[in-house]
Amino acid sequence: MARTIFPGKPYPQGSTWDGTGVNFAIYSEHATGIELCLFDSSESTEPEIIPIRETTGFVWHCYISGLKLGQIYGFRVQGPYEPEKGLRFNGNKLLIDPYAKALTGEVNYKAPIFGYELLNPDQDLKMDTQCDWNAVPKCVVSTNHYDWENDRPPMTQLHDSVIYEVHVKGFTKMHPGLPEEIRGTYAGISHPVTIDYLKKLGITAVELMPVHAFVDEGGLAEKGLRNYWGYNSINFFSPEARYCSADLGSTLVARQAGKYAAADAAIVMTTAAASNTAGSTGFTRNSNAARSLDDATAPAIPIASPIAVTTRPSRMTMRRIAAASAPSAMRIPNSRVRSRTP
């Protein structure tokens, strides 16, 4: 269908819905061209391709009226393929928007998802020219608007902080006091039973082990296994969908868990990450992770999480094991309680 493409704005980056359309903005200093790919569904393999013409300070941007929340999209980025110079552009591959706030779909390692010919003796020096539309995650247009219902950070003093580091699934999956349908999910973390337990321990903040969108390594996928810990993020602004009790792993679902935990128990919900590059293992650095947008400058892409209820406390606050002990039914191995010693 014919569309009218407006110049749009370079900020904010990512996709921004304003009620009548969507602004797209994406950074790449060395790209020679960027195409916006719009999909009818997560399974669609024939996108509508829209070249982005406007640039401002290495940010490529456009605005398309009529697009709605839930629109599925991705990018193709053209440029030199010169790995020896740190340039790995491959216009045949669909790329994730590093500022996308929700993703849909999973990686299919049996498809040509790598930017280079995987079995070629020249390894990553030989660019792969096959398309991977249906084999990689796609982005979903989401909204930043959310009713926090007058929630406020508890502002616990540093010397009074006790931070509980937990794994969303490991902490709730086997909990006998939680409804079965929300075990292993964000909703399980914010359930009154969980909040009551944390309050009894004297917890002031919960730090979730990685809940950013991450992928399973190829070796695990071949064996039918999953990456349990999540330290292989591909997008730091999108919550991991496998922990959602709703159909779509949207930012709102994860934010709601944090809101209820904070509002009901004066507990701060924060997140953890251990990598400064997207898809650092398995789903290689020059496939569809953030570095494919501009490998030479990718480390400059800022990393943050929209899921945190407030500013993340310093890890220096987490040093002492809490004195309180958990009931036997709540002694779950994938958690740690630490606080700052004077």
Q: What are the boundaries of each domain within the chain?
A: 5-140, 158-339
pLDDT of residue 257: 52
5-140 matches 158-339 in fold: no
pLDDT at 284: 43
Instruction: Write the CA distances from 207 to 2, 91, 180, 196, 263, integer angstroms.
Output: 47, 38, 23, 17, 16
User: In this structure, what DSSP letter does residue 329 have?
Assistant: G
CATH 2.60.120.10 fits 158-339, yes or no: no
The pLDDT averaged over each successive group of 10 residues in the chain (342 residues) is: 90 96 96 97 90 97 96 96 91 94 92 90 91 93 82 86 93 95 91 92 91 92 94 90 70 52 55 53 51 64 33 31 31 48 39
Please report the pLDDT score of residue 27 as a whole number. Answer: 95
What gap in Å lies between CA 113 and CA 55, rounded to an integer?
28
Q: What is the per-residue pLDDT for 288?
A: 60
**Amino acid 317: pLDDT:** 29
- The DSSP H or E segment spanning 87 is strand 87-88
Q: How far is CA 253 from CA 114, 125, 260, 303, in A?
A: 31, 41, 11, 20
Global pTM value: 0.81
Q: 5-140 belongs to which CATH class?
A: mainly beta
**DSSP per-residue codes, 97-156:** -TT-S-EE----TTS--SSB-TT-TTGGGSB-----GGGS-EEE--------TT------
Burial of 126 (0-12, 13-18, 19+ CB in 10 A): middle
Q: What Cα–Cα distance (Å) separates residue 129 from each residue in 27, 45, 92, 138, 173? A: 23, 16, 6, 19, 42
Place of tokens 């902080």: 161
CB atoms within 10 A of CB 31: 22
